[in-house]
Amino acid sequence: MDREALFQQIKKKNSYLCIGLDTDLEKIPQHLRSTADPIFEFNKQIIDATHEYCVAYKPNIAFYEALGPKGWESLQKTMDYIPKGLFTIADAKRGDIGNTSALYARTFFEYFNFDSVTVAPYMGEDSVKPFLYKDKWVILLAHTSNPGSSDFQLIESVVTGRKLYEEVLLKSQRWATPDQLMYVVGATQAEKMESIRAQAPEHFFLVPGIGAQGGDLKMVSQYGMNAQCGLLVNSARAIIYASNGQDFAQRARQEAVNVRDEMARHLQDYYK
């Protein structure tokens, strides 16, 4: 999917919501556990209930890998089930090089047909290049918002005065265009979001880990949006585990609608 198509979908749906399919056997409703493929059955019902209100799905690959070959099959069925036109993200955070990364690219882009894959920058350009396919995307870790993000990402270069995550933002823009490259940018403070947007004005940001409807979404939208929206805001647990009863899909839909409604307001504010 190209950038324009993604933006068109965002405008049409009034949503830049990405739903994280962090599907965990231990967290899905009891009544699904006796089905032949509980993981897929759960995803299927979540997708049915939410696909009108989100623009992307992001299976967290760890959850599928942890189940061995069976998990791989559930992932494949899930990918086949996601309606055409929705953007798909393999949240795999792969960070290898050369031939190895080329194989990861083949797995996620060709075998599973994902639109994008999350990638870690530590090994540099060789970690990014193998993922540059036509109409596919690398989503590179830039500034995450976990506690450990400050361990290395904030180290400031004696040469450039820039922090590590800023070096990642700037250097990687030489390797790929905003039509092939997005960044993972955690919801930190407003000033930081504003400065990151200034350093990568055209790129889409995948923003994980924000409370589904808290002040964070407002801040991220206010300081992170660009002329083509430029945001995919991920919510996983708050939506997919809104209930663990018979009504889980209905409740997931309601949560997705609520987020979509708030996103519609932010889009209107920005594009008014």
Task: Please say if 93 is a catalytic residue.
Answer: yes
Query: How buried is residue 97: exposed, middle or buried, by Cβ count under 10 Å (0-12/13-18/19+)?
Result: middle
Contact residues for 212 (Cβ-Cβ < 8 A; gap 6+): 235, 238, 239, 255, 258, 259
Q: Find the part of the chain contacting its own copies (CB under 8 A) among 32-40, 139-147, 242-250, 256-264.
A: 139-147
**Strand-pair category, 231-235 with 17-21:** parallel
Residue listed under structure tokens 């609520």: 258
CB of 155 to its own copies, least distance (A): 5
Residues in the chain: 272
Q: Find the part of the chain contacting its own copies (CB under 8 A) among 4-12, 28-36, 46-54, 156-164.
A: 156-164
Residue listed under structure tokens 């899930």: 78
CB of 270 to its own copies, least distance (A): 30
Identified binder of its own copies from the candidate list 12, 31, 33, 70, rule CB under 8 A: 70
Q: How does 41-57 read in b/e, with b if 16+ C-beta sit within 10 Å?
A: bbbbbbbebbbebbbbb
The backbone torsions φ and ψ at residue 151, rounded to the nearest 5 degrees and listed phi first, read -60, -45
CB of 89 to its own copies, least distance (A): 14
Regarding 218 and contact with its own copies (CB under 8 A), the answer is: no
Kindly state the number of chain residues that form the binding site for its own copies, as judged by CB under 8 A. 54
Q: Find the part of the chain contacting its own copies (CB under 8 A) among 67-75, 78-86, 213-221, 255-263.
A: 67-75
Cβ atoms of residues 240 and 24 within 8 Å:
no
Taking the CA atoms of 61, 67, 73 and 79 in sequence, report the sign of the dihedral they define: negative
Regarding 96 and contact with its own copies (CB under 8 A), the answer is: yes
Among the options 44, 93, 163, 218, which is catalytic?
Answer: 93
CB of 4 to its own copies, least distance (A): 30
Residue listed under structure tokens 């590590």: 164
Residues forming the site for its own copies (CB under 8 A): 22, 60, 62-63, 65-66, 68-70, 72-73, 76, 93-101, 103-104, 106-107, 111, 120-127, 141, 144, 146-153, 155-159, 161, 164, 167-168, 171
